[in-house]
Amino acid sequence: MPVAMRAAARHGQAMMLERLSPQAPDALLALIRLHAADPREDKIDLGVGVYRTEDGATPVFAAIKAAEQHLVDTQDSKSYLGPEGDTGFVNALMPYIFGADPTMGGRIAGMQTPGGTGAVRLALALAQKAGVKRVHMGVPSWPNHAQILADLGMELAPFDHANTNGSANLDAVLAAVNGAGADEAVLLHACCHNPTGIDYTGDQWAAIADAFAASGTFPIIDSAYQGLGYGMEEDAAGMRAVLAKVPEAFIAYSCDKNFGQYRDRVGAFYILSDDHAALDTAFSNANALARACWSMPPDHGGAAVRIILRDPDMTKAWLAELDDMRARMRQVRDALAKAGSAGRIDLTPLGTQHGLFAMLPVTKDEVTRLREEHGIYMAGSGRINIAGLTMGNLPKFIAALAAVAG
């Protein structure tokens, strides 16, 4: 018996690592491997949220390639930055997120984070440090929202994000905002809701903004898909309506999708406060949390975004690529809506929704059958990634759906 085991056994205790219980792999990320291992030529990946072209590829944006080349040619040091990362990147994004007055009247401070997940983690950890114990959130939501809350030991107060007719449930979000206590916050998706694709309308955002302003409830807004819905400006409008009316808020931002930077982990976290001293203090706390978590964010992807956004021609090229992505997803959504239904599944609402995702009312058993019998991979919740569909594989998808959900 090895020495340590003998020692533990002598004290009549379990070995330390034996006290851990096994964790299931993240269901969404596990799908990537399952799909990769499937030899069927006509398999369809509707799992993890990455954009795909009509050929099923997830290419590096040409604008990112050019910016990376520029970075290789000109970068003269890889010395440390700081917990706030590349401030040029953080500042260059701000006009796109916050509009013509990028600091909304000097009320915003930001820092780079490892992806949108890092930004959400930092937002929730800082909220917790400021006394927030409970976070209201529309469900279903991105599964990692709940996982991060659980990991931080914060309570999740769920409300229904959508009505059964496919519209956003305004009453539920207003009740959450109006009813939240002083140690509670409300987490919203800025656009292209994950997983439903159902966003609040302009009028609904206006009502939500009024509710935040009147109640004093703290908003945390996760913006992970700007530009994939209607366009960069349009997709920020609802969030800006809220931010214009509240004295303080957190914003988590991701460049994973709109710059195609998935694995390079490019995100940003912004704090809004009317009170300059409070803004400085909150920012210093965010820096301290970041230092204790990841010390500094990875630089490369953020630097590439900075290079693009500081160059008008590169910016134009990036926006054109984003337009193409959006147009392709719109084409797929229109085709699904035109198909009408597959078995008992009504596909028409998908035509009015936005972004990468939609929820299909399928059972777990039907999800399994789609995978095993037809090589179609989707989240167990019934979420599909619209970008995994093409005009080529759409007929197969609709026929398979009709076969299992007849």
Q: Please give the residue ranges that form the binding site for ligand LMR (CB under 6 A).
A: 28, 48-49, 142, 144, 194
Is 257 one of the catalytic residues?
A: yes
Closest to ligand LMR by CB, 204 vs 223, is 223
| Active-site pick, 109, 123, 142, 249 | 142
Q: How far apart are CA 171 and CA 181, in angstroms?
A: 18
| Active-site pick, 67, 209, 211, 224 | 224
Pairing verdict, β 184-189 and 134-139 = parallel
Structure-derived torsion over alpha carbons of residues 259, 168, 361, 256, reported in degrees to the nearest 10: 10
Least distance CB 153 / ligand LMR (angstroms): 21
In 3D, which of 154, 148, 110 has the Cα closest to residue 129?
154
Closest to ligand LMR by CB, 217 vs 267, is 267
Is 36 one of the catalytic residues?
A: no
Cβ within 8 Å of residue 87, ≥6 positions away: 111, 112
Least distance CB 203 / ligand LMR (angstroms): 28
Least distance CB 192 / ligand LMR (angstroms): 11
Least distance CB 16 / ligand LMR (angstroms): 30
Q: Is 195 exposed, middle or buried (0-12, 13-18, 19+ CB in 10 A)?
A: buried
| Active-site pick, 66, 127, 257, 317 | 257
| Active-site pick, 222, 256, 264, 299 | 222
Q: How far apart are CA 220 and CA 208, in angstroms?
A: 13
CA atoms lying within 13 Å on the CB side of residue 359: 23
- For ligand LMR, the nearest residue by Cβ is 49
Q: How far apart are CA 104 and CA 272, in angstroms?
A: 9
Is 224 one of the catalytic residues?
A: yes
Instruction: Name the DSSP letter for residue 258.
Output: T
Closest to ligand LMR by CB, 307 vs 386, is 386
Is 205 one of the catalytic residues?
A: no
Extract the tokens encoding 211.
């509710």
Closest to ligand LMR by CB, 241 vs 370, is 370
Least distance CB 265 / ligand LMR (angstroms): 10
Closest to ligand LMR by CB, 82 vs 143, is 143
- Helices of type H across 246-393: 276-293, 300-309, 312-339, 364-374
Extract the tokens encoding 402.
């009709």
Catalytic residues: 142, 222, 224, 257
